Amino acid sequence: MILNASGCLDARATPEVARQLDAFVTKTVTLLPREGNASVRIAETDVGMLNSIGLANPGIDRFCETLPPLRKELAIPIWVSVGGFCADDYAKLCTTLDGCDEVEAIELNVSCPNVAAPAEATEEIVKAARHATSKPLYAKLSPAVPDMSALALSAARAGADGLSLVNTARGLALDARTLRPVLSTESGGLSGPALRPIALAAVHACFAATRLPIVAMGGIETGRHALEFIAAGACACALGTILFADPNAPARVRTELAAEAGQHGFETPLAAFGAGHGQRAAQSARFVA
């Protein structure tokens, strides 16, 4: 299963790219409209990309008006990413989306590095969201914590149906001429190749701890990368930064993934699921619905 990472694909501008996916993940939406951070909000580095968008979005009411035509145009499932500043924000967002037939699943963005951290802990946010909706909930976690397994277990205890791993890590880029930070917020979220080993370690650890379905993201650029994440415990992969350079990446990665699996003796890519943990561990897990 191949998705996009939230915020890395404008499905309205490029629906032909979105249709290559098994599901489309929206940009994070909040209760009220947000303009986001001031420019400069994106910077390239030699190991990936920095962004500091700041959750710019039209707010949940306007957003919901756009869902029916978007779902009709794409003809694939839609996952909605939501963000807030307290557990009640997430609960209200999930209550609103619970009545939207166009929404397949909800991703709880509890780890954006470019806005103030939520006031409540991950467990409280997930619990509030769980009470507000019957739709599948995926908790998107930050790699910038001492113990990813403990964080994942907290989300599982609170009722998360799955995990999205990982969000960006904080990074900094300096202007070559002035030696001042390029981004208006100074630091921002680092995505791309540099994030891949960190994300792979998070998937491996969190799968071992929870056996929850995991959507992996973080520097996935090829079928080989995707196969490694599946072996580590992911049952779906999301493409992010690569979509800016290669809009046809979903179709390419899907073809490469099948070829890589075959070269390793697997009939299908998902036959490699959990291989990094041994057969018994893999058989005890659940898949994305």
HSE of 21 in the Cβ direction (CA atoms, 13 Å)? 31
Q: What is the pLDDT of residues 110-156, one digit of tens each?
A: 986 656 556 458 999 999 999 999 999 999 999 988 899 999 999 99
* Per-residue model confidence (pLDDT) at position 75: 97
Angle at 260 between CA 258 and CA 262, to 5 degrees: 70
* Per-residue model confidence (pLDDT) at position 111: 81
> Could you give the CA distance from residue 271 to residue 284 in angstroms, rounded to a whole number?
14
Q: Among the options 94, 100, 112, 235, which is catalytic?
A: 112
Please name the residues in contact with 65: beta carbons below 8 A apart, sequence gap of 6 or more. none
User: What fold, for 2-283?
Assistant: TIM Barrel (3.20.20)
- Tokens for 13, please give them: 């501008």
Residue linked to tokens 């791993």: 165
* Average pLDDT of the segment spanning 80-105: 96
Q: What is the pLDDT of residues 207-245, one digit of tens each?
A: 999 999 999 999 999 999 999 999 999 999 999 999 999
Percentage of residues of the chain with pLDDT beyond 90:
91
Percentage of residues of the chain with pLDDT beyond 70:
93
Task: Please provide the average confidence, as pLDDT, over all residues in the chain.
Answer: 93
From 63-72, 207-216, 274-283, the region with the lowest mean pLDDT:
274-283
Confidence of residue 257 (pLDDT cuts 50, 70, 90): very high
Q: What is the pLDDT of residues 20-52, one digit of tens each?
A: 999 999 999 999 999 999 999 999 999 999 999
Domain chopping of the chain, boundaries: 2-283
Active-site annotation holds for 112:
yes
> Could you give the CA distance from residue 123 to residue 155 in angstroms, rounded to a whole number?
5
